[in-house]
Amino acid sequence: MPAMGERPEAGIGAAEGECSVDDLARRAGTTVRNVRLYQERGLLPPPRRDGRRGWYNDDHLRRLRLVLSMLGRGYPLTAIRELTDALADGRTLADVLGFEDALAQPFLTEEPQTLSPEELLELFPDSPLENLQRAVELELLVPGADGFVAPSPALLDTGAQLVADGVPLEAVLDAAAEIRAATDRLAQRFVALFTDHVWQPFVDAGMPAADLPRITAMLQRQRPLVAKAVMPALAQAMQRHTDEAAARAATLLLQQVRAS
């Protein structure tokens, strides 16, 4: 992909590092209509005007990608507007961009994996079409041009191993649905802890510029806290239920021995 500042795509009237709205939309993976909408909502700064033409630079591209990322994660336009308004309220660009980077950092660090229908059939042999449709509904698989994309290959590998060990795929998908519901509730609770007790007081105080680095640091610290809290709790629960199952199995075995 050409750099933002390449003159052949920039057009007549564009300064070094600038491009047209069409090129900006293409590079961000959106439409010109969306770019203009986000400008109207105050989510993007206005372009540099040269007569009737507007020219955009790397800052516009960076901000547009952030807006699209936040929208894709369900952030309302009002919350995104609060962030973009921070630039006009005296906060330094470095502080605001640091917060943007912390907010846009993905939780999922796995690289998605594309599988052909044949590869899926090897992992899950003799699977009816209904199971594939349910895996798509649970977002374990996403239909793509070359087959299916697994956003989390680790989840797919876990399901494949369970099936290989004799667990019916229908039961694995039932468990996946329960995991999705439980983790969704946990995610909502963790997000609420930050928004209710950190972000909202910051907003109520007028979003003071001096506090933004502290909010950014707290946001960055909370990411690993989720795994630190959930994994030990899950391990403790697994130990309890495993011990209970082992005790039941031992009792049944002892009864069979005594009866023989």
* Interval 241-256: pLDDT, tens: 888 888 888 888 888 8
Closest Cα partner for 59 from 13, 1, 22, 19?
Answer: 19
Give me the pLDDT at residue 168, please.
94
- Give yes or no for residue 146 having a pLDDT over 60: yes
Q: What is the mean pLDDT of the chain?
A: 83
Whole-angstrom distance, CA of residue 222 vs CA of residue 82: 21
| From-to residues of CATH 1.10.1660.10 in the chain | 7-89
Top-tier CATH class for 7-89: mainly alpha
Higher pLDDT, 206 or 165: 165
- Give yes or no for residue 93 having a pLDDT over 60: no
Tell me the two tokens of residue 24: 């900006």
8 A C-beta contact, residue 63 and residue 45: yes
Whole-angstrom distance, CA of residue 25 vs CA of residue 130: 38
Q: What is the mean pLDDT of residues 86-113?
A: 68
Q: What is the mean pLDDT of residues 140-144?
A: 90
Whole-angstrom distance, CA of residue 199 vs CA of residue 210: 14
Q: Each residue of 96-108: b (16+ CB within 10 Å) or e?
A: bbbbbebbeeeee
User: Three-state SS for 114?
Assistant: strand
pLDDT digits (tens, 9 = 90+) for 17-62: 789 999 999 998 899 999 999 999 888 888 998 888 899 998 899 8
Q: What is the mean pLDDT of residues 106-118?
A: 82
Higher pLDDT, 152 or 3: 152
Distances (CA, A) of 122 to 119, 133, 241: 5, 17, 32
Confidence label for 9 from pLDDT (cuts 50, 70 and 90): very low
8 A C-beta contact, residue 10 and residue 19: yes
